[in-house]
Chain A
Amino acid sequence: MPRGLWTTTVGSFPKPPHLEKERNQFARGEISADDLRKLERDATIEVIRSQEEIGLDILVDGELYRGDMTTYFAELMDGFTISNPVRSYGNRYYRKPVATGPVRRTKPWTVDWWKFAQSQTKKPVKGMLTGPYTMMDWSFNEHYPSREALAMDLAEAIREEAMALVEAGATFIQVDEPAISVRPEELKLAVRALGRAVEGVNAKTITHICYGDFDVIYPALLDLPVDMIDLEMANSRYDLLDRFRKHRFTKEIGYGVLDVHSHRIETKEEIKQGILRGLEYLSPEQMYIDPDCGLKTRTVEEAREKLAVMVAAVREVREERGITA
């Protein structure tokens, strides 16, 4: 009986409204770092419980203690300062890292959080990091002579953290590279930097990539030196499958079936159809079913409902196709 169609998520979960409020209180100096940390730990326990109740196979810590996916890491590193707010869209702003000196990892970034999350469950919890290419691309650079130089120094730092996570017991290490797909001409640099970040990392390695110019970067994308590439499939109405038909997808795939930009809860049937279409070009052993991207932009309820439908759809496909987890 074939195995496969494991279920997981891409990383972030929505912060419960009370935690958003408490993070703001912390920013205004109204509560202490210890107070906030306790609240974040409580919320993380909730996220782990929720994933177990939904029945996901591979869990995440939910990243409730992180703000932005680059700034969180940059704040913990030497060589970065953080800019004043920059607008990303409409009324949304974020503070961007600025490389002002050699970037270095001087202490663990996520290991304690990973240990804490893993201590709450028997299921595997993924170690979640942002990749060197994305960290470089989403930072200002006032120090390095080139984008490559910054990316490769970041790769060294990220590798140290990945090694530390494995030493702590992580068996899945995800190094997200959402920026890779937008500059196809730099794919080789991204491959080299990610390769260094996961070199010698004794775990299943994953990278998440957002939708981009796949006409240009596929199949070269398969050169990324990781075991699994996680892709937005639903957002593009599964049109990536047409490319897989022309050139076989040779790695394991994180197969996104939930549109994380929409409030609408997908139907079980449409998710099943998406998975079944994937099984025309991919084996069940290759496929890890998950949302298109992180869930942090959804509400807690939306995220939970979407994931519950996803797991139900996977169970039905497994049953119909005789696939076990």
Chain B
Amino acid sequence: MKIETTLSGSFPKLPLEPGAPNVRVIRNRMDQGKASEKDLAEATRETTRRIVALQESAGVDIPMGGQVAWDDAQTYFARGVAGFTIAGLIRYLDTNTYYRQPEITSPVSWTQPVTVESYRMAQGMAHRPLKAFLPGPYSLYRFSRDLHYKDPKDALAKVGEAVAREAKALEDQGAEWIHFEEPWLGRARSEEAALVTAALTPLFRGRKAKTVLHVPFRSPGAVFGAIRDLPWTVLGLDLVESPEAWELLAKVPAGRTVGLGLVDARNTRLEDPARVAKEVERARSERPDLGWQLCTTASLEYLPVDRAAMKVARLTEAARLASGNGG
């Protein structure tokens, strides 16, 4: 049975080949007044084209656009939603990367599409349906500073609604897959289950696109009861950073699909595809009643571009072996 492959978020923006369009160089030149927004848009397009082509030539079944215009996983979206302002840089969880902290300063409300245009641009370069990326509402709220709402439940419901409206806008543009990134589900305590439900419920209401609820880094075991029965298409788990997430496989309802995050997006050490395939087989033998995808544990932007490209190749090779086509 074929194991589909996908990435879990963004891809390094730097080119593999010297001399190729480079958004970093263009942004530096813009700072010096030597390049324009138009140059940046062109470099962004070419970088997206490269990222999509790399995935397609490696055989990734559900590629992503790479989020070339995003500085981090939250602010690109939050900046476009009423109620958020963007404040200072802080560390992104336990990574040595940073994000600008969104602040909720007035009622959160979605007024217009934020990510649709860049999604459409990327999809126009692809030969397969691309998976769109959105920050999950629970994490978007936890990454933010709430200076407006008195009750987090109210805030989470509104943030959930805003993300859901964006998902609908993506659907309307033809997005067949939408990835919701939820690292904070791995840090939520069991007493926060009701908050998780308040945030995530709007996401799946009337949803036509297939959805991935992806939890990088830590196991969402403490709030698994709140997410288990939501109508996601795929639940993505990070089985490298949190091996304890394996235990959740036993609790996934029959007939659902799990995204096995077995290709480590945070370490340059390259996986042996045969070993990854064995891990897939282990999951499959433990739960023959589930469907499976194989994915990276998190965004590949934690890696230098050369290693990220190698990881994509290992991912698809492991899936090929696991699918029984390894010769």
Q: Are A87 and B89 in contact (CB under 8 A)?
A: no
> How far does the alpha carbon of A85 sit from the alpha carbon of B303 in the complex, in Å?
8
Interface size class of A (residues with CB under 8 A): 20 to 34
Q: Tell me if B39 is interfacial: C-beta within 8 Å of chain A.
A: no
Knowing A98-B268, A140-B268, the reply to whether A83 touches B96 (Cβ < 8 A) is: no
Q: Which chain A residue has the least Cβ–Cβ distance from B91?
A: A182
Residue B180 at the chain A interface, CB threshold 8 Å: no
Task: Indicate with 1 or 0, residue by residue over B36-77, a CB within 8 angstroms of chain A CB atoms.
Answer: 000000000000000000000000000000000001100000
For A146, the chain B residues whose CB sits under 8 A away are: none
CB distance from B18 to the nearest CB of A (A): 11
Contact present for B306 and A84 (CB under 8 Å): yes
Q: Which residues of A contact B269 (CB under 8 A)?
A: 140-142
Closest to B302 in A: A86
Minimal beta-carbon separation of A83 from chain B (angstroms): 5
Q: Is the CB of B24 within 8 A of A86?
A: no
Q: Say how far B78's CB is from chain A's closest CB, in angstroms.
A: 15
Q: Looking at A85, A87, A142, which has the most chain B CB atoms within 10 Å of its CB?
A: A87
> Which residues of chain A come closer than 8 Å to B71, judged between CB atoms?
89-90
8 Å CB interface, B77-111 against A: 88-89, 91, 93-94, 96-99
Residue in B93, B96, B306 with the greatest tally of chain A CB atoms within 10 Å: B96
Q: Which of B23, B267, B301 has the most CB of A within 10 A?
A: B267
Q: Assess whether B268 is in contact with A83, with CB atoms less than 8 Å apart.
A: yes
B305 contacts A by Cβ under 8 Å: yes
Q: How far is the CA of A210 from the CA of B97 in the complex (A)?
A: 14
Would you call B307 an interface residue if the criterion is a C-beta within 8 Å of the partner chain's C-beta atoms?
Answer: yes
- B96 A88 Cβ-Cβ under 8 A: yes
Whether a CB of chain B sits under 8 angstroms from the CB of A179 is yes
Chain B residues within an 8 Å CB radius of A142: 267-269
The answer, among A83, A87, A137, A138, for a CB contact under 8 Å with B301, is A87
Question: Is B304 positioned at the interface, with any CB of A under 8 Å from its CB?
Answer: yes
Bound-complex Cα distance A262 to B89 (A): 10
Residue B13 at the chain A interface, CB threshold 8 Å:
yes
B303 CB contacts on chain A under 8 angstroms: 86
State how many residues of chain B have any CB contact under 8 Å with chain A: 28
Q: Measured between alpha carbons, how far is A137 from B96 in the docked complex, in Å?
A: 8
| Smallest beta-carbon distance B80→chain A, Å | 17
Q: Which parts of A80-112 form the interface with B (CB within 8 Å)?
A: 83-91, 93, 96, 98
- Quick one: given A84-B306, A182-B91, are A89 and B99 in contact (CB under 8 Å)? yes
Question: B28 at the A/B interface (Cβ < 8 Å)?
Answer: yes
B-contacting residues, A259-273, CB 8 Å: 261-262
Question: Are B304 and A83 in contact, CB atoms less than 8 angstroms apart?
Answer: yes
Q: Is B132 an interface residue (CB 8 A)?
A: no
Rounded to whole angstroms, the CA-CA distance of A182 and B304 in the bound complex is 23
B12 at interface by CB-CB < 8 Å: yes
Contacts known (A98-B268, A140-B267); A87 close to B13, Cβ less than 8 A = yes
Given A83-B268, A84-B304, A84-B305, decide whether A89 and B89 contact each other with a Cβ distance below 8 A.
Answer: yes
The reply on B14 being an interface residue by CB < 8 A is: yes
Instruction: Indicate if B27 sits at the interface (CB-CB under 8 A).
Output: yes
- Are A261 and B88 closer than 8 Å at their CB atoms? yes
Q: List A135-184 residues whose CB lies under 8 Å from chain B.
A: 137-138, 140-142, 179, 182-183
- Whole-angstrom distance between the alpha carbons of A261 and B24 in the complex? 22
List residues 183-232 of chain A with CB under 8 A from any CB of chain B.
183, 210, 212
| Contact between chains at A87 and B96 (CB < 8 Å) | no
Known contacts A98-B268, A141-B267; is-contact A87 B97 (Cβ 8 Å): yes
Q: For chain A, residues 46 to 105, give those with C-beta under 8 angstroms from any C-beta of chain B.
A: 83-91, 93, 96, 98
Q: Which residue of A lies closest to B27 (CB)?
A: A91
Encoded as 1 (CB less than 8 Å from any A CB) or 0, chain B from 5 to 32 comes to: 0000000111000000001100110000
**Contact partner, B94, options A84, A89, A182, Cβ 8 Å:** A182
B307 proximity list for chain A (CB < 8 A) = 83-84
Most chain A CB inside 10 Å of its own CB: which residue of B28, B72, B269:
B269
- A83–B28 Cα distance when bound, in Å, is 21
Closest partner residue, chain A, to B98 (CB atom): A89
Considering the chains assembled together, what is the distance between the CA atoms of A83 and B302 in angstroms?
A: 11
Chain B interface residues (CB < 8 Å from chain A): 12-14, 23-24, 27-28, 71-72, 88-89, 91, 93-94, 96-99, 267-269, 301-307
Top 6 nearest A-B pairs (CB, nearest first) are: A84-B304, A89-B98, A182-B94, A140-B268, A142-B269, A91-B27
22 contacts between A and B (CB under 8 A): A83-B304, A84-B14, A84-B307, A85-B14, A85-B304, A86-B12, A86-B303, A87-B12, A87-B97, A88-B96, A88-B97, A89-B71, A89-B89, A89-B98, A91-B27, A91-B28, A96-B304, A140-B267, A142-B269, A179-B94, A182-B94, A183-B94
Extra 9 A-B pairs, beta carbons < 8 Å, given A89-B98, A182-B94: A84-B306, A85-B14, A86-B302, A87-B12, A141-B267, A142-B268, A179-B94, A182-B91, A262-B88
